[in-house]
Amino acid sequence: MSFLHLAIVAPLILSIFIPLFYRIFRQIHAGWFVLPLPILLFVYFLTFLPETMSGKSFIEMINWIPSLEINFTAKVDGLGLLFSLLITGIGALVVLYSIYYLAKNKEKLNNFYVYLLLFMAAMLGVVLSDNLIVMYAFWELTSFSSFLLIGYWYERDKSRYGAQKSMLITVFGGLAMLGGIILLYIMTGTFSFTEIMSQANEIFNHALFVPALLCILLGAFTKSAQFPFYIWLPDAMEAPTPVSAYLHSATMVKAGIYLVARFTPVFGEHFLWFLLVTSVGILTLIWGSVFAVKQTDLKAILAFSTVSQLGLIMSLLGAGAAALHYEFLDENIYTVAVTAAIFHLINHATFKGSLFMAAGIVDHETGTRDIRKLGGIMHFMPITFTISIIGAFSMAGLPPFNGFLSKEMFFTAMVHVTEMDIYNLETWGILFPVLAWIASVFTFVYSMILVFKTFTGKHQPEKLDKKPHEAPMGLLISPIILVSLVIIFGLFPNLLSDSLISPAMASILPSLLGAGEEFKVHISFWHGPTIELFMTLGIIILGLVLYKTHFRWKKIYKGIPEKLALNRFYDFVLEGLQSVSYKLTNTYMNGSIRSYLVYIFAFLIVILAATLFGKNAFMFSTSNVSSIGVYEVALAILVVLGSICILFAKSRMTSIILLGAVGYTVSLFYVLFRAPDLALTQLVIETISVALFLVCFYHLPKLRKFETRMRFRLINALISVGVGAIVTLIALSAHSSKLFDSISKYYVENTYTEAAGKNMVNVILVDFRGFDTLFEITVLAIASLGIFGMIKLRLNRRKEG
Amino acid sequence: MEILMAFVIGILFMTATYLMLSKSLLRIIVGTGLLSHGAHLLILTMGGLKRGAAPILGGNEEGYTDPLPQALILTAIVISFGVTAFFLVLAYRSYQELGTDNVEEMRGTEKDD
C-alpha cells in the first residue's frame, strides 16, 4: 500500500467517518471536515508534476486477485495527473461552495458528503488505474455515486426520474465498456493498460479489434453525454447545484473524454475511431448548442452547453487521433487538435464550474432559475454578475479569456482536418470547420442569453420570491477562484503548456515521441490575421445579430425541437419495453398447468427429434433382438388396448380399473421376462395403488359429480403422439447401437461367493448397491410422514376458527 | 421382441402424455401411473429381454437374464409408488379443501397490493 493508493482510497476512508462527525459535532457544518482532504490531495498530486514533466510515469501496484491478473495498479502519467488535479482542485472548491450553499439544519449533510466523497474516490480511481478491471470497478462506482447524488432530494419525483435515467444510460455504457475490456483481454492476454498499449500494433488486424473499439466508445459516449446519449445530463440538473458543478460539468462527464484520450494510442489509428469520435463530437457540439438557446432554465442552458462543449473536446480528440497517421513530429500540424482538446478540457472545467456556481447563487438569492422571471439583478449582485460575464465570455470564446484561445485552436484543428490526405477528407472534410463555426455562433448566442437575460434588462420584483441581494462571501470564494483562473490562463496560457498539457499529450500520443523528446506546446500564436481570427470575428458579428433578433426567430424552436427531442424516444422505449414484456409474460405464463406441460413436452420433442436427426443418430437393426412369442404379443395387445381405452373411458371408475389392468399386465410381462421379484412387487403395489385411487374417486366433490369423457384436443393429441413416437425412436436406436456388454457378469459370478446369496436382484439391492435401497426407504418414510401430515395438519381451518 | 416392446412403450408414453394434459386431477395421476409403467418397461427392454433364466442361482447352464435392470426397476417401482401415494392423498386433500378436481380452476388468488 503506497501513498498513491492511500490517496485514491482516502475519500472512501473519510466517508466512513463523516456520519460520525456529523452526529458528534452538530454545531459545525459537516463540509468543514471534508474540505481539508481534497486540498491535501491536490497538494499531494502537485508533487508529481516534476516527474511527469520530465516524461516519466509513476507506477505502484498492490495485489488484489493476482491469479486473474487483476491487481490494483495505480499509475500517474501526464493525463492521469491532469485529471487528478482537476478532480481534487475543483473538488475542494465545490466542497467549500457547498458549505455555504447547503443549509446546516435543513439538509441531510451526512448523506451528501458521503456520496460526494464516494464519487471523488471513484473518479480518482478511474483516472489513476492502470488495470482495466479496476478502472471499470471505479467507473461503475462513479455511475453509482452520481445516481445517489442526483437523487439527493429523493422526495421529489423529478430527482428520482433523473437519477434513474442517468443510471440506466451510464450503466448501459459501462457494461459495454466491460465487454470491450474483455475483448481486449482476449486479444492481448492482459488487463494492464500499459501492456495493451505496447501490443496495439499486433492486434490492429485482429477480428475482435473493431468490436472492442465500438464497445469502448459506447462506454465513453454514454458517460460523456454524447449524441444520442446526452439526454440524461439535462435531467441530472435536479441534483443540488454543487453536484451539477462538480459532476456534470467538470469531472464525471469528462470520464468519457478521459477514456477516449486514454485509448487513443490503442485504437487511434483506425478509421472508425477517427470517424466516430470526430463526427459524433461535432454532431453533439452543434446539437447541444442549438438546443441550449431554447432553454429558459439557467441550469438547463448550462447542461446543454456542457453537452455541446464535451462534443467539442471529443471532436478534437478524434481529429488528434489522425496525427498518428503522420509519423513525424516536427511538421505534424494535427497534434494541435490534441493540444486544443486538453487546453479546452481545463478551460471548460474552470468556466463551466464558475458558471454553475453563479447560477446556484442566483437561484439561492432570488429563489428562481427561470430567465423569464429574472432580469436586471446586475445592481443587486455585482460580483455574481462579474463572475458570470467572465465565465460566459470565456465560453463564447471571446478574448482575453481562456475560452478564446482554445476556440481559436479548435478552429485551427478543424481547418487542418480539411488538409488531410487520408479518408477522402479533402472533399468532405470541409464540413467540419463549417459545422464547428455554426455551432460556435449558437454558443455565442446562448452565452449572451445566459448573462444578459439574467442580469440586465428590466427588473421584475413581483415575480421573485425573495428580494435579491449579493451572496455571502463564502459562496463567492470558489467561483472567484475559478474565474481568476479563467483570466490567468487566458493571459498566460503558457503557464500550463509545459507543466500539464505537454505531459498529457505525451500520454495520448506516445508513439509520436522518440526517446527524450517532448511536445513543444506554445499557445502564443494568437497574433496575426489568420483564418481563425476571421472566423471568430464572424462569430461575434453574426452572434450579435442573432442575439439582438432572438425574440423574432425563437418561435421557430417551438415547431422543430419537440419532435427531435430524444427524451420522448427514451420514454417511449422504456414504457414500451415494460408494457411489451408485461404482455409477453402474461401471454405465456397464463397460470394453466396444461399449457406449461405443453411447452415442456413440445420442447422435449423438438430438441430430441432435432438431435436424433440432426446428428444422424437414428439407427435400426434387428441383429440384437430376441424372438417374439405368442404370450408376449397377447400381453402387448392387452397393455396397448388397456391404455388406449383409458383415453376413451367416460367414467372415472372405468379408467381406474383399466389402469389396474395395465399394471397387472405389466406384472405378467415381468413374469414372462424372468423377473420374479418385480412381478411380486408390481402385483402388490398395483393393488394398493388402485385402492388408493378408489379412495380418491370416492371423495370426489359433489358439485361436479356428473362425469364427462375427455374432450378431444388436437394440440394435446399431436403432442402426445409426438412424445410416444420420440420415445419409441430413441428406444429403437439405443437398442440398435449397443456399444459394450453389460457389467452384470460380475454380479452373476460373485453373488454367492462374495455376498452369500442366490437371489441376484436381492443381493444387488441390499449388498452391492445397498445405498440405493437405504434412500428408497427414506423416500417411502418421507412420503408416509408427508401423507400423515397432510391428513392431520389443518392449519387453515384452525385459523378460520 | 425389443422392437415390439419399443412400440408398446411408445404407446404407453403417448397415452400417459395425453392424460397428463387433461384437466381432471385424477386423470393426470392415472397418466403418471401409465408413464411410470412405460419407464419401467423401457428399462427392462433396454437391458435385453429373454436371455436365459431368472436371476436366481441354481445351476443353469444357459446363463441368466441381466439382474441389474431388475434391481433398478424395483427401486423405481417403490419410489414411484411413494410419490403416487403422496400425490393421491394430496389430490384427495385438495378435493376436500378446494372442492374441485379441475386444475384449470386451481389458480392462486391474485393479491390486491
Cβ–Cβ contact B93 with A under 8 A: yes
- The pLDDT value recorded for residue A89 is 92
Cross-chain residue pair B95–A724, CB shorter than 8 Å: no
- Report helix, strand or coil for A518: coil
Asked if B44 and B66 count as a contact pair (C-beta separation under 8 A), the reply is no
Output the CA angle A632-A633-A636, nearest 5 degrees.
Answer: 85
Could you give the CA distance from residue A167 to residue A279 in angstroms, rounded to a whole number?
25
Which residue, chain included where needed, has cell 392462486?
B108
Interface of A with B in 644-663 (CB under 8 A): 644, 646-647, 652, 655-656, 659, 662-663
A724 vs A183, A253, A670, A717, B25, CA distance in Å?
46, 62, 22, 11, 22
- The pLDDT value recorded for residue A743 is 85
CB contacts < 8 A, A to B, total: 279
Question: Which of B13, B24, B84 is nearest residue A727 as measured by Cβ atoms?
Answer: B13
- State how far residue A150 is from chain B, nearest Cα, in angstroms: 30
Asked if A270 and A213 count as a contact pair (C-beta separation under 8 A), the reply is yes
Cβ–Cβ contact B59 with A under 8 A: no
Q: Find the distance separating the first CA and the last CA of chain B, reported in whole Å.
A: 61
- State how far residue B60 is from chain A, nearest Cα, in angstroms: 11
Q: Alpha-carbon torsion A271, A277, A278, A279, what sign? A: positive
Interface of A with B in 703-742 (CB under 8 A): 703-704, 710, 713, 716-717, 719-721, 723-725, 727-728, 731-732, 734-735, 742
Query: Which chain B residues are Cβ-neighbours of A626 within 8 angstroms?
Result: 1-2, 48-51
Query: Which chain B residues are Cβ-neighbours of A769 within 8 angstroms?
Result: 71
Residues of chain A whose pLDDT is less than 70? 1, 326-332, 421-427, 468, 514-519, 521-528, 559-565, 700-710, 796-801
Which residue, chain included where needed, has cell 441550449?
A292
Per-residue pLDDT of A636-685, as tens digits, reads 999 999 999 988 887 888 888 999 999 999 999 999 888 899 999 999 99
- State how far residue A147 is from chain B, nearest Cα, in angstroms: 28
- State how far residue A576 is from chain B, nearest Cα, in angstroms: 23
CA dihedral defined by A166, A171, A173, A174, rounded to 10 degrees?
140
- Indicate the DSSP class of residue A768: I
Q: Which helix (H) or strand (E) holds A5?
A: helix A3-24
Could you give the CA distance from residue A317 to residue A313 in angstroms, rounded to a whole number?
6
> CA-nearest residue of chain B to A797?
B97
List A74's β-bridge partners, or say none. Answer: A60, A129
- The pLDDT value recorded for residue A109 is 86
Query: Which chain A residues are Cβ-neighbours of B103 within 8 angstroms?
Result: 592-594
Suggest the residue from A692, A694, A714, A792 to mutate for an interface test with chain B (most B CBs closer than 10 A).
A692
Burial class (CB in 10 A: 0-12, 13-18, 19+), A698: exposed
Could you give the CA distance from residue A362 to residue A464 in angstroms, rounded to a whole number?
11
Please check the confidence at residue B112 and state whether its pLDDT lies above 50: no
Burial class (CB in 10 A: 0-12, 13-18, 19+), A46: middle
Query: Which chain B residues are Cβ-neighbours of A773 within 8 angstroms?
Result: 75
Could you give the CA distance from residue A162 to residue A231 in angstroms, rounded to a whole number?
10
Q: What is the mean pLDDT of chain B?
A: 85
Cβ–Cβ contact B105 with A under 8 A: no
A164: Cβ contacts below 8 Å, ≥ 6 apart: A147
Which residue, chain included where needed, has cell 389458480?
B107
Cross-chain residue pair A674–B65, CB shorter than 8 Å: yes
- State how far residue B64 is from chain A, nearest Cα, in angstroms: 8
Nearest residue to A224 (alpha-carbon basis) of A139, A292, A166, A310: A310
Q: Which helix (H) or strand (E) holds A71?
A: strand A70-76
- The pLDDT value recorded for residue A38 is 93
Cβ–Cβ contact B41 with A under 8 A: yes
Nearest residue to A523 (alpha-carbon basis) of A260, A766, A346, A689: A346
Could you give the CA distance from residue A41 to residue A35 in angstroms, rounded to a whole number?
11
Could you give the CA distance from residue A676 to residue A663 in angstroms, rounded to a whole number?
15
- The pLDDT value recorded for residue A310 is 92
List B56's β-bridge partners, or say none. Answer: A759
Cross-chain residue pair B55–A748, CB shorter than 8 Å: yes
Cross-chain residue pair A751–B50, CB shorter than 8 Å: no
Cross-chain residue pair A659–B34, CB shorter than 8 Å: yes
List A60's β-bridge partners, or say none. Answer: A74
Full 3-state SS string of A590-606: CCCHHHHHHHHHHHHHH
Interface of A with B in 612-641 (CB under 8 A): 622, 624-629, 632-633, 636, 639-640
C-alpha cell at B5: 416392446
Question: Which of A626, A689, A701 is nearest residue B84 as measured by Cβ atoms?
Answer: A689
Which of A53-56's residues contact partners 24+ apart within 8 Å by CB, and which partners? A53/A498, A53/A499, A53/A502, A53/A503, A55/A503, A55/A506, A55/A513, A55/A516, A55/A518
Cross-chain residue pair B9–A594, CB shorter than 8 Å: no
Cross-chain residue pair A647–B18, CB shorter than 8 Å: yes
- The pLDDT value recorded for residue A589 is 86
Cross-chain residue pair A779–B12, CB shorter than 8 Å: no
Cβ–Cβ contact A51 with B under 8 A: no
Question: Which of B17, B34, B78 is nearest residue A601 as measured by Cβ atoms?
Answer: B17
Cβ–Cβ contact A791 with B under 8 A: yes
Could you give the CA distance from residue A597 to residue A715 in angstroms, rounded to a whole number?
12
Cβ–Cβ contact A685 with B under 8 A: yes
Q: Note if the pTM is more than 0.80.
A: yes
ipTM rounded to 2 decimals: 0.93
> CA-nearest residue of chain A to B98?
A701
Please check the confidence at residue B26 and state whether its pLDDT lies above 60: yes
Which residue, chain included where needed, has cell 457540439?
A285
List A58's β-bridge partners, or say none. Answer: A76
- The pLDDT value recorded for residue A668 is 93
